[in-house]
Amino acid sequence: MTCLKVFHPLFVAILLLSISTSCADPTYLAANSGSDNGGLGNSTFDICKNDFCFSFDWLAGPEYRKESSFILSVRNADGDLVDFNFTPHFYLYMPDHGHPGDPLTATRLEKGLYKIEKVMFFMKGQWDLHISETQDESGSSSDIILPIAHF
């Protein structure tokens, strides 16, 4: 009985600490708009990787099991719209499951702007957008990988 009284406050402190520091949605996710949309809402968010900054402006979605689309802006460190130095191929990939999603339709609108359509999140889990120099959808280590949604 004495042991419980001594450790009880310590147990409570550890429990409260673990709850307050537990994992939440990654910082690239905006507040959930209330629909089953991976926590993103109809929002814009930015990710900087590989000397580029990418902005996602959702036109439709993202929604689980419904077609989504977005405009992808590609900028350099100065904030200028830039093109890749290769012909980009875009595809969705589920890192937890190790497989790509359905094919995407990508249209270059102008320098540094791409419209990505036919985005389908057909399974629950983490989804990444891969930008590849090749049409290989195997999750190559040379791909630019951008976390895009989690359902």
Per the structure, how many domains does the chain have? 1
Largest CA distance in the chain: 72
Note the pLDDT of residue 14.
Answer: 54
| 3 state SS of 19 | helix
Domain containing 30 — which CATH number?
2.60.40
Note the pLDDT of residue 136.
Answer: 66
Q: Which domain holds residue 31?
A: 25-150
In a domain, 83, yes or no: yes
In a domain, 3, yes or no: no
Copy the structure tokens of residue 108. Answer: 């270059």
Residue 32 to residue 104: CA distance in whole angstroms: 24
Q: How confident is the model at residue 119 (pLDDT cuts 50, 70, 90)?
A: very high
What average pLDDT does the segment 36-65 reach?
Answer: 77
What DSSP assignment string belongs to 50-97?
A: TTEEEEEEEEE---BTS-EEEEEEEE-TTS-B---SS--EEEEEETTT
Q: What is the pLDDT of residues 9-35, one digit of tens each?
A: 654 555 444 444 333 333 333 333 334
% pLDDT > 70, the chain: 66
Note the pLDDT of residue 60.
Answer: 92
- CB atoms near residue 51 (< 10 Å): 9
Note the pLDDT of residue 151.
Answer: 87
